[in-house]
């Protein structure tokens, strides 16, 4: 193999040849680099996807909406904090009282979540011999669909009169339609839920926004709130969707808070015993959580990069020892210390750079596998994550390659030529 002169364009090729001559050793050396980069890129991909889906989800629910619940967190998984266990659920009649008492509020929708288990029985939706055990039965006011911008794909929404007289009608999500009515229109047909029959009057359009690959409203069966309350008086997971007038959301927020405190009999020195949130508040909280996850991810991946960097330094020191005579020849024909340093730094950065590229490719493949399990997850990593991953990997090579490069550059050419 011909040695390159002091400095020329063949230097990168020569560096690759040196790495290829020890394939297995090079692969083991960059394993830590690969693991670190996979962690950074894959987590970044997932977090970006989750945030985009959540933003889309709450944009669908409407930017002018204010969500009210008596506990922190997801209504389907209520808080178990000791200070919140004794909180009273929201009352249905509060919805109309809020709309009347708050000038900045346009209307209020009610949503009552029925638990998946009622009296020890699993809630299942059936039509003839078909059934869906993932159904989410919700009692909602007739204003729920327009306020949350839930589009009706076929049929209609139930009206205020049907809600008033507790009609047994329902609007179903697209997943319920697919599972119970695979070959026929569900409109006018009956769905059995917990031994009661409900006539389907409409089918919801599939929601675009998701959290982890699926929007729960796609599995919903919406029945009038009064109908659900009359049959399940124990159902107490009530959420309000307060729709403010245009450009008056902040004023509506303050008015709702003041009125709810009055309705719930809270004194001036008592804290709120309910939770109010808006779409941007929820997204801001999500951003704070994802920022912590990013920091933790960087800390974990740094361990892999540190291990990989130590491995790179070890292999480069070994390479300097094995190539002592070669270094002597290069110096004898005119190579300067700078040329020797450049050669070994180039080899180290190429080694870790290839590890970084392998990590990006592996992260993409893992993202593709994740997308098959959770369709809402993105496959392609964001460009900034790819750039950061490759930049970090090359930087590790440069940092941990300095000592071996300096050791090679300080060699005496006469002593090096005598080395056997």
> DSSP of 308-367, one letter per residue?
HHHHHHHHHHHHHHHTHHHHHHHHHTT--HHHHHHHHHHHHHHHHHHHHHHHHHHHHHHH
| pLDDT of res. 104 | 93
In this predicted structure, the answer to whether residue 204 has a pLDDT above a threshold of 90 is yes
In this predicted structure, the answer to whether residue 396 has a pLDDT above a threshold of 80 is yes
| pLDDT of res. 130 | 93
H/E element holding 153? strand 152-155
| pLDDT of res. 110 | 94
User: pLDDT band for position 78 (50/70/90)?
Assistant: low
User: pLDDT band for position 395 (50/70/90)?
Assistant: confident
| pLDDT of res. 6 | 43
For the chain, give the mean pLDDT. Answer: 81
Q: Tell me which range, 26-40, 170-184, 303-317, 343-357, is most confidently predicted by mean pLDDT.
A: 170-184
Report the distance separating Cα 403 and Cα 344, nearest Å: 10
| pLDDT of res. 42 | 83
Report the distance separating Cα 70 and Cα 264, nearest Å: 11
| pLDDT of res. 74 | 75
Query: Which has the minimum average pLDDT: 83-92, 136-145, 281-290?
Result: 281-290
Query: Which has the minimum average pLDDT: 15-29, 124-138, 149-163, 183-197?
Result: 15-29
Report the distance separating Cα 224 and Cα 138, nearest Å: 8
pLDDT digits (tens, 9 = 90+) for 222-279: 999 999 999 998 888 899 999 999 889 899 999 999 999 999 999 888 888 898 988 7
Pairwise pLDDT comparison (22 vs 347), residue with the higher score: 347
Report the distance separating Cα 48 and Cα 36, nearest Å: 18
User: pLDDT band for position 4 (50/70/90)?
Assistant: very low
| pLDDT of res. 229 | 92
Could you give the count of Cα atoms lying within 13 Å of 71 in the half-sphere of its Cβ? 20
User: pLDDT band for position 415 (50/70/90)?
Assistant: low
| pLDDT of res. 292 | 80
User: pLDDT band for position 150 (50/70/90)?
Assistant: confident
Report the distance separating Cα 351 and Cα 399, nearest Å: 13
User: pLDDT band for position 412 (50/70/90)?
Assistant: low
For residue 225, count other CB atoms closer than 10 A to its CB. 24
Q: What is the mean pLDDT of residues 270-289?
A: 82
First to last CA, the chain: 18
Q: What is the mean pLDDT of residues 182-200?
A: 93
Q: What is the mean pLDDT of residues 151-173?
A: 93
| pLDDT of res. 200 | 95
Q: What is the mean pLDDT of residues 337-350?
A: 77
Report the distance separating Cα 7 and Cα 340, nearest Å: 9
| pLDDT of res. 127 | 93
Q: What is the mean pLDDT of residues 25-35?
A: 73
Residue 195 corresponds to which tokens in the numbers above?
Answer: 């031994």
| pLDDT of res. 7 | 45
| pLDDT of res. 10 | 56
Percentage, residues of the chain above pLDDT 70: 83
In this predicted structure, the answer to whether residue 288 has a pLDDT above a threshold of 70 is yes
| pLDDT of res. 8 | 52
Report the distance separating Cα 143 and Cα 124, nearest Å: 25
For residue 103, count other CB atoms closer than 10 A to its CB. 10
């Amino acid at each position: 193999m011909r040695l390159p002169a002091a400095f020329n364009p063949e230097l990168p090729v020569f560096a690759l040849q040196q790495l290829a001559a020890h394939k297995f050793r090079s692969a083991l050396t960059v394993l830590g680099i690969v693991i670190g980069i996979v962690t950074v890129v894959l987590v970044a991909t997932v977090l970006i996807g989750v945030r985009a889906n959540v933003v889309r989800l709450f944009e669908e629910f409407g930017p002018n909406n204010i969500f009210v619940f008596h506990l922190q967190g997801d209504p389907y998984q209520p808080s178990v904090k000791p200070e919140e266990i004794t909180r009273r659920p929201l009352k249905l009649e509060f919805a109309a009282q809020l709309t009347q008492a708050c000038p900045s509020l346009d209307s209020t929708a009610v949503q009552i979540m029925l638990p998946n288990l009622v009296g020890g029985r699993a809630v299942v939706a059936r039509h003839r011999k078909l059934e869906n055990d993932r159904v989410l039965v919700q009692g909602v006011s007739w204003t729920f669909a327009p306020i949350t911008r839930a589009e009706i794909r076929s049929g209609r929404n139930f009206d205020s009169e049907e809600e008033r007289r507790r009609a047994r009608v329902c609007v179903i999500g697209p997943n319920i339609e697919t599972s119970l009515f695979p070959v026929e229109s569900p409109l006018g047909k009956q769905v059995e839920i917990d031994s009661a029959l409900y006539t389907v009057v409409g089918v919801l359009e599939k929601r675009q926004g998701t959290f982890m690959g699926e929007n729960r409203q796609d599995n919903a069966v919406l029945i009038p709130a009064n109908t659900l309350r009359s049959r399940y008086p124990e159902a107490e997971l009530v959420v309000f969707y307060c729709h403010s007038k245009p450009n008056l959301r902040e004023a509506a927020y303050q008015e709702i808070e003041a009125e709810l405190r009055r309705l719930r009999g809270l004194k001036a020195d008592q804290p709120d015993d309910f939770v109010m949130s808006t779409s941007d508040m929820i997204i801001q909280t999500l951003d704070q959580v994802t920022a912590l996850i990013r920091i933790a991810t960087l800390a974990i991946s740094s361990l892999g990069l540190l291990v990989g960097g130590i491995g790179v330094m070890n292999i480069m020191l070994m390479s300097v020892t094995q190539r002592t005579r070669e270094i002597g020849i290069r110096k004898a024909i005119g190579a300067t210390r700078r040329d020797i340093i450049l050669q070994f730094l180039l080899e180290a950065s190429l080694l870790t750079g290839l590890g970084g590229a392998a990590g990006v490719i592996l992260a993409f493949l893992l993202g593709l596998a994740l997308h098959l399990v959770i369709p809402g997850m993105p496959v392609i990593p964001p460009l900034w994550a790819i750039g950061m991953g490759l930049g970090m990997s090359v930087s590790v090579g440069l940092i941990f390659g300095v000592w071996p490069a300096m050791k090679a550059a300080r060699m005496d050419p006469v002593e090096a030529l005598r080395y056997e």
